[in-house]
Amino acid sequence: MILQAELQSLIARKDRLESSVLSVYLNVNQTEEANLNRGFETNLHSMLNELRDPAWSERDVETFNRAADRCLEQIRSYKGGAKGIVMFLDQADDFAWIRELNVTVRNSLSWGVSLHIHPLMELLRRFHNFGVVLSDHVHTRTFAVSLGEIRELKEFRAEGTTRKTRTTGTDQIWSDSRFDRRASNHVHQHLKHVVEVIEQLSKTYVFEHLVLAGPHEVATEIQRLLPQRLASSVVGLLALPFEAKPQTILESSLRLMDESTEAAGIELVEELITAASKNRKASLGMDRTLDALNQKDAWQLLYSVGFKADGGECTECSALLPVADEPCRQCRGEVRPVDDLIERTVALVLRLGGTVEPLRGKAAESLLEVGGIGLFLRFATTEVIVS
């Protein structure tokens, strides 16, 4: 489970001046033959070697060797049980962030000045991270779902009924002091407490969405009591018995989430196209998206998963540019080529405080027809001069 705070600290890491960051996505899924008998170690070895560039300086080679050794050492001590491993190592400050995942990842290694974070963001989106609140009139269970894994967080009862508490490492936020002893209406007080709990959880976990489960009238009442931000994150209501097994809860809520994501993605693309055509707080296509980003304007980036683009980066002002063979549009500075422009764009949007929505399926197809990428803007668009 990846917490909101750690994700934010990964995003906030500054680019280095020289390459020192190794990002590793390693498929260790044992249902794949190539990974049996620790075949993933062999894969990792050859992928690390492929990264090596004959043009590197002595310093580059040395820094890379140290990172590669750390990486191999980590994988050698891996005990098994996961499907994928994500690792970010930065030699500049001996930083290491390593996570075993319950979902398969595509093998990918990169060496550079910044974390290759967007496959992780895509995974988080694709496998949905959300909270589930299963509540009847007097008792409630809460769950966090992330990367295909469900974790039961807490079970609690209304005042006046026997209360059981199960916590998993989140004791601090589960203060019972908020439990209102003067409650006359158990149900209402209980549901109000549920809302407080949801608010706290949404700050700790990476909760983009919320599923409310249990009797319909309870779920709708909780939804009504939620503050606007959280109420609008509710993707649906699930009729499930209070004793439902976590695996059942996971499967039903993932189904609900898939349906809702597909529909929401299609709607978003339509909204983006309309807004961009009216020149209202949206830009469509790589060119205009980068222009807006270079003016530090970003609200929500949409892109079709698999869409690739190369371009350039200004060596003077760091602006990202759709082409590398002309001077910078911002400052006329020299531009060097960048081969994964989407990756850099995603990182920039996140750093500007925007959000990123990788699209799949029908939504991705319709966005591809209009350039594969687009951006909702925070501020009004200013006319951009395109030379």
Tell me whether residue 103 or residue 338 sits nearer to Zn ion (CB atom).
338
Task: Please state, in angstroms and rounded to a whole number, the distance separating the CA atoms of residues 131 and 138.
Answer: 19
Tell me whether residue 335 or residue 363 sits nearer to Zn ion (CB atom).
335
Task: Please state, in angstroms and rounded to a whole number, the distance separating the CA atoms of residues 21 and 267.
Answer: 37
Q: Give me the least distance between CB of 322 and Zn ion, in Å please.
A: 13
Q: Which neighbouring-strand residues pair with 282?
A: 376
φ/ψ of 52, rounded to 5, equals: -65, 140
Q: Is 328 helix (H, G, I), strand (E, B) or coil?
A: coil
Q: Which neighbouring-strand residues pair with 3?
A: 205
Of 310-339, binders to Zn ion (CB under 5 A) are 314, 316-317, 319, 328, 330-331, 333
Tell me whether residue 334 or residue 339 sits nearer to Zn ion (CB atom).
334
Tell me whether residue 334 or residue 365 sits nearer to Zn ion (CB atom).
334
Tell me whether residue 35 or residue 294 sits nearer to Zn ion (CB atom).
294
> What is the number of alpha carbons within 13 Å of residue 47 lying toward its C-beta?
20
Q: Give me the least distance between CB of 286 and Zn ion, in Å please.
A: 17
Q: Are 230 and 199 in contact (CB under 8 A)?
A: yes
Tokens standing for residue 267: 């709607």
Q: Give me the least distance between CB of 32 and Zn ion, in Å please.
A: 45
Q: Which of 80, 100, 98 lies closest to 22 in space, CA to CA?
A: 98
Outline where DSSP puts E strands in 158-310: 209-213, 234-238, 282-284, 300-304
Q: Give me the least distance between CB of 285 and Zn ion, in Å please.
A: 20
Q: Give me the least distance between CB of 338 and Zn ion, in Å please.
A: 13
Q: Give me the least distance between CB of 314 and Zn ion, in Å please.
A: 3
Tell me whether residue 102 or residue 330 sits nearer to Zn ion (CB atom).
330
Tell me whether residue 263 or residue 317 sits nearer to Zn ion (CB atom).
317
Tell me whether residue 133 or residue 319 sits nearer to Zn ion (CB atom).
319
Look-up: residue for tokens 């706290």? 200
Number of residues forming the site for Zn ion (CB under 5 A): 8
Tell me whether residue 3 or residue 331 sits nearer to Zn ion (CB atom).
331
Q: Give me the least distance between CB of 290 and Zn ion, in Å please.
A: 12
Of 202-261, binders to Zn ion (CB under 5 A) are none
Q: How many residues does the chain have?
A: 387
Q: Are 349 and 121 in contact (CB under 8 A)?
A: no
Which whole-number Å values give the CA distances from 40 to 85, 140, 338, in the listed order? 11, 42, 29
Task: Please state, in angstroms and rounded to a whole number, the distance separating the CA atoms of residues 21 and 96.
Answer: 10
Is 3 a binding residue for Zn ion by CB under 5 A? The answer is no
Residues 6+ apart with CB under 8 A from 387: 326, 329
Look-up: residue for tokens 């991705």? 364
Tokens standing for residue 272: 């983006």
Q: Which of 85, 94, 151 lies closest to 120 in space, CA to CA?
A: 85
> What is the number of alpha carbons within 13 Å of residue 87 lying toward its C-beta?
25
Q: Give me the least distance between CB of 331 and Zn ion, in Å please.
A: 3
Of the listed pieces 13-21, 32-40, 101-109, 309-317, which binds Zn ion according to CB under 5 A?
Answer: 309-317
Q: Give me the least distance between CB of 385 and Zn ion, in Å please.
A: 15
Residue type, 177: S
Q: Which chain residues interact with Zn ion by CB under 5 A?
A: 314, 316-317, 319, 328, 330-331, 333
